[in-house]
Amino acid sequence: MPNPLLRYNPRRLLLVADLAGTLIFGIEGATAAVSGNLDFLGIMVLAFSTALVGGIIRDLLIGAVPPASLRDWRYPATAFTGGLIVFFLYRFLLRIPPNVMIDLDAMGLALFAVAGTEKALEYELSPFIAVLLGTITAVGGGTIRDIFLAQVPRVLNSDVYATAALVGATVLVACRKAKVPPIWAAILGGAVCFLVRVIAVSHHWNLPKAVSP
């Protein structure tokens, strides 16, 4: 009898990855709101946007409307839970070491990159587009958060952020092409995304800039 953890159910995998990423990104968005001195509602709006806008953009682009996060109350509820955690426990969150936050963020990035790519494949989009959509899902929420805070989105100038999502999504798609079992393709893609991001931060990796005169 196979290990039940390894029995692959794409919809359920998608849901679990999506909800876990939603909680992490909800907490992150809410933390950014508190740093920006916003009030309770600002915290909730940023938790919602950071957690769900990436997936909403993905669903709009593939024509899956209403988006999963509006059809299924568990998505907004999870994002708002992230906001409430920050609202009530901000003083404890401050004690979390920065590198734990970076790991959590990398985890959210990996989960959303996997979920976004999986859903694009499920809608039978081409591999190239699936990789793009996985990346957009992963970085969309953080981009909206930064736009809301009137900042240049991190995705544009943070070294190796979207790149990690892109690499992870590519690994997932490549594994699926190579007939790797879907559950392993997802785990591998997510792990690569997570590791690329975490190692890039700890080693201060930089992407090259344009060849200037």
Tell me which residues touch a copy of itself (CB under 8 A).
Answer: 33-34, 36-43, 45-46, 56, 60-63, 65-67, 70-71, 73, 76, 86-91, 94, 123, 125-126, 128-129, 132-133, 143, 147-153, 155-157, 159-163, 206-213
Minimum CB distance to a copy of itself smaller for 163 or for 172:
163
Minimum CB distance to a copy of itself smaller for 43 or for 107:
43
Separation between Cα atoms, residue 95 and residue 83, nearest integer Å: 17
Write down the least CB distance from residue 201 to a copy of itself, Å: 15
Beta carbons of 94 and 102 less than 8 angstroms apart? no
Write down the least CB distance from residue 59 to a copy of itself, Å: 9
Place of tokens 């740093």: 35
Minimum CB distance to a copy of itself smaller for 46 or for 185:
46
Write down the least CB distance from residue 81 to a copy of itself, Å: 14
Q: What is the DSSP letter of 150?
A: T
Query: In the numeric block, which tokens belong to residue 9?
Result: 């159910």
Separation between Cα atoms, residue 40 and residue 22, nearest integer Å: 19
The type of residue at 119 is K
Minimum CB distance to a copy of itself smaller for 148 or for 187:
148
Write down the least CB distance from residue 63 to a copy of itself, Å: 3
Beta carbons of 50 and 29 less than 8 angstroms apart? yes
The type of residue at 2 is P
Query: In the numeric block, which tokens belong to residue 112?
Result: 């959303």
Minimum CB distance to a copy of itself smaller for 3 or for 206:
206
Separation between Cα atoms, residue 93 and residue 96, nearest integer Å: 5
Write down the least CB distance from residue 51 to a copy of itself, Å: 13
